[in-house]
Structure 1
Amino acid sequence: MSEQSARSDNTLHGAVSAAGVPAGAIRLPAVHLILSDAGCEPLLAAYGRVQTLDAARALLAELRAMLLAAREGGETAAAVTGAPDTSIPSLLAMLAARLQEQNASPLRPVFNLTGTVLHTNLGRALLPDAAVQAVVDSMRWPMNLEWDIDTGKRGDRDNLIEELLLELTGAEAATIVNNNAAAVLLMLNTVALGKEVIVSRGELVEIGGAFRIPDVMTRAGAVLREVGATNRTHLKDYDEAAGPQTALMMKVHTSNYAITGFTKSIELDELAPLSKKHNIPLAVDLGSGTLVDLEQYGLPHETTVRETIEGGADLVTFSGDKLLGGPQCGIIVGRKDLIAQIKKNPLKRALRVGKLTLAALEPVLALYRAPDLLPERLTTLKLLTRPAADMRAQAQAILPQLQAALGAGYEVTDAAMFSQIGSGALPVDQLPSHGLVVRPAAAGRVSNALGVLEQRLRALPLPVIGRVAQDALWLDLRCLQDYQQQRFIEQLGLLTA
């Protein structure tokens, strides 16, 4: 094939000169010339020939369409406004950028400076190093997920974590599914299919993603029996509602809101004896369950799973990725006979977890055997108990760097602020914190200036996520760990561009 024919499909035609070449033509190299160039070798090694070829063809097609549209508009090829450099080195640079963007993962690490430690939209709990290493090992090696090494026979994947859960909660049995919503669904579908479940009207909560207790009961095939009023429920309400069609009494922890004022709710120590009187199982959805008394670490008290079991609950459901500080999962603990029924439900297989979740959960649970060392080793608790003085020192170290990067258009100050636990855990409790506050230097159009700044921070290689409030951008440093600080500072220089 002659050079002319090799490039014929990549030439934009205008008037033909005496030499047979379109006058003022802008030639695009043939695809094979781009791929055979030495400068393309790194792209082929990184992305493979098929993907690189497809991307090169798409790039040339876009350039061809742009130049043809310009020519049809009356411009000569040489005068196309903003005409790109179509040399092979320039095309390779465009191709590299295209392939890099095409292969960038949509799941990216970010700096969580929102002040919410367990941020649902940012992945909730960060795993401790022991759990991270366990997950890595489980991805590299075959694991005895459902294989009993002692007997050489098939095993039960729940056995990998059940002993630890029983030790930490005092329950008779345990099982695990992919999140707490699934745990509630599976429990209701097993114990109360086609029968009534008594719940206080004040506990018919909705959590994130429009997950509502009444809706999940319907999907589970249970019949909701509301008792009491929104703000007040009495023991007699449960007593009068109990009957032959009642399969379960249920308490739901109102973890993401609080009702104050003229209120009354029935606590577990009152409800448990009543459930025993009627021989009706009592279930408690703790939502964000904790395995230790948080007060010993200077945090507000949250009812523990053990306290709930010892208080008379027959079944308890809770999350693994909230206060527990582990991977996303839902845990059900309680009476052995009820857990056995739950594990036989066909839905259990559909909702079960894989080896990565179990690999991460087991070392997290093991950390709770040494509660005195927990604030050092469990990342979630480490962040929740971080001293404000440490964050203040961090803010003072970062402030001049951030101010220099933003320039005279913004004013940066360090200030005390409040963090929150997040994910519905202890919603009315706040944690003293410290961070940076950024305000536009000029009065007027504050919201626009803050919007621009927020976008610039999100556009960094490691996006910075803060919160806008009171005409300022607040960057709470509670979740900026020591090993992340230098990376945070290094990329601030990109804000000046």
Structure 2
Amino acid sequence: MASWPTVAPLIARAGRALVVEALRAWVDERRGTPEVASEAACVQWCVTRLDLFLKPSQRRVFNLTGTVLHTNLGRAVLAEEAIAAAVEAMRSPTTLEYDLEGGARGERDDHIAPWLCRLTGAEAATAVNNNAAAVLLVLSELAAGREVIVSRGELIEIGGAFRIPDIMARAGCRLVEVGTTNRTHLKDYAAVIGPDTAAIMKVHPSNYAIQGFTKAVAAAELVPLAREKGVVLIEDLGSGTLADLETWGLPREPTAREAIAAGVDVVTFSGDKLLGGPQAGLLVGRKPLIQRIARNPMKRALRLDKVRLAALEATLRLYADPGRLAERLPTIRSLARPAAEICAVAERLLPAVQAALGHDATASVAEVRGQIGSGALPVDLLPSFAIAIKAKRLDRIADRFRRLPIPVIGRISDGTLYFDLRTLDDEPAFAAQLDKLHVVAG
């Protein structure tokens, strides 16, 4: 069978080993059946099997969930400049750890540290593979075997049941809780500082909010206390941003520059959320502390590769021209997109969507409110517009949209399937595939 002429194109495409495996599977499936199968039937069976096997498991999708920075869908979409830099780094050897001027070994942090220092005002900077790793590394180096003070209102849990108390335990620290869930005062911190205290840690609650009768101590208020007592002040900004989001009418979020200006010793934040870059954990702060952190043996296990460093450097470079961020950075562009523009897109697409649905469902344009991110300002909602679909079997409709060449991911709420168009970045591609919907009547 492997010598059939019709098998040759399969071998050219998938390789002999996979084709032989498919042919053997076909023989095993048909063993004992009386009918005689044709060569064409065998080849078609193998084509179907190989198509399924060779299809990439990670595929492009349309994120129309209403959550711009969707963790399950990869968070930030990279800028074209970052994509180009990453591709160039993949294509050839680079100066990842090589100093061209001196002809000697270099340091990979040198590609991003100058930009991070410039953009935050910090003395030094380094990076690891995500913000959870950044927090782990800071605590492991600066507070292992000693106490770290955290407000009870900041003992957060992020995705995957990853909790601040757990990461402290892994770092070898002893957590000292102060205050209550809703109110913590400066005197609460001062009362527990002792000879075994290594650090005070502020954790920005970027994935929840406590409202009502509340009190929190700002990092700027903790700086004098930390200096007086000789302990390190660490602030985990979580999502993190290098720009003033209020410039685009978005909810306020503390910036790394503000934390450094306030006197925080070490600041950590993410690269792939509000910053709009690749997955990374960024650390900025006082030079002696950052140098200690960078020398920690754990840093090697958590470091970034050349591809992500190239993409990160290109992303940071965009922040040198803040006036064009909304034009060049997809995250800011999506967040700042005017609701009226989104509504116009919805109205243009509605007839095509309804035609593809036929009589099995009804579609309309609906005013909705979306999220910035499930782990980035989740309670601050963005006014937007969506195509709203109603049908007897919404699960079937949603399944059909997920089976399109470029799967379309929406959300079902209150008996309606919503496709929030804030993040639709390729309207022609979305519209072009609607004729393949073939919705089955519910």
**Cα displacement (A) at 1:186:** 0.3
- TM-score, normalization by structure 1: 0.87
1:72-93 C-alpha deviation (Å, 9 max, x unpaired): xxxxx35xxxxxx711012111
TM-score by length of 2: 0.98
Say whether the 8 Å CA contact 2:400–2:438 is kept in structure 1. no
Letter of the aligned partner of 1:486 in structure 2?
P
Aligned match of 2:433 in 475, 488, 491? 491
- SS of structure 2 residue aligned to 1:54: helix
Task: Check whether the contact 2:220–2:264 (CA below 8 A) recurs between aligned residues.
Answer: no
1:438 corresponds in structure 2 to: 389
Alignment of 1:404-415 (within 5 A): 404-415=355-366
Conserved in 2, the CA contact under 8 Å of 1:316 and 1:333?
Answer: yes
Which position in structure 2 is the counterpart of 1:461? 405
Report the counterpart of residue 320 of structure 2 in structure 1: 369
Is the aligned partner of 1:395 residue 2:342?
Answer: no
- Of residues 194, 218, 226, the one that matches 2:177 is 226
What is residue 42 of structure 1 aligned with on the other side?
9
> Which residue matches 1:267?
218
Candidates 290, 297, 304, aligned match of 1:353: 304
In the other structure, the counterpart of 1:287 is 238
Q: Which residue of 2 aligns with 1:146?
A: 97
Partner of 2:414: 470
Q: In 2, Cα distance between the equivalents of 1:389 and 1:423?
A: 24
Equivalence for 1:62: 29
Residue 380 of structure 1 deviates from its aligned partner by 0.4
1:183–1:317 contact (8 Å) kept in structure 2: yes
Task: State the structure with bigger RCO (CA 8 A, min sep 6), 1 or 2.
Answer: 2
Contact in 1 for aligned 2:370/2:382 (Cα 8 Å):
yes
Is residue 452 from structure 1 mapped to residue 419 from structure 2 by the alignment? no
Identical columns (%): 54
Q: Deviations over 1:340-388 (max 9, x none)?
A: 1101111000111100110100010000000001100011000101111
TM superposition shift of 1:427: 2.2
**CA distance in structure 2 between the aligned counterparts of 1:163 and 1:287, rounded to whole angstroms:** 21
Shift of 1:35: 2.1
Match of 1:71 in 2: none
2: CA distance between counterparts of 1:38 and 1:131? 45
Aligned-partner Cα distance in 2 for 1:324–1:271? 26
Q: Secondary structure at the match of 1:254?
A: coil
**Alpha-carbon distance in 2 for matches of 1:283, 1:423:** 24
2:278 partner SS: coil
Select between 217-226 and 267-276 the one with higher mean Cα deviation: 267-276
Matched, 1:211 2:211: no
Q: CA deviation at 1:43?
A: 0.7
| Corresponding pairs, count | 439
* Partner in structure 2 of residue 4 of structure 1: none
Conserved 8 A contact 2:202-2:235: yes
**Partners in 1 of 2:410 and 2:21 — Cα distance?**
39
State the alpha-carbon separation in 2 of the partners of residues 203 and 355 from structure 1: 34
> Amino acid of the residue matched to residue 195 of structure 1?
R
CA drift of 1:423 comes to: 3.8
Amino acid at match of 1:346: P
Tell me, what secondary structure is at the counterpart of 2:362? strand
1: CA distance, partners of 2:428 / 2:48: 27
TM-fit CA distance, 1:37: 2.0
Say whether the 8 Å CA contact 2:151–2:180 is kept in structure 1: yes
Unaligned runs of 5+ in 2: none
Q: Which of residues 302, 325, 331 in structure 2 aligns to 1:380?
A: 331
The aligned counterpart of 1:186 is 137
One-letter identity of the residue aligned with 1:372: G
Aligned AA for 1:291? L
Alignment-derived partner of residue 137 in structure 1: 88
Q: Whole-Å Cα distance in 1 between the matches of residues 55 and 249 of structure 2?
A: 42
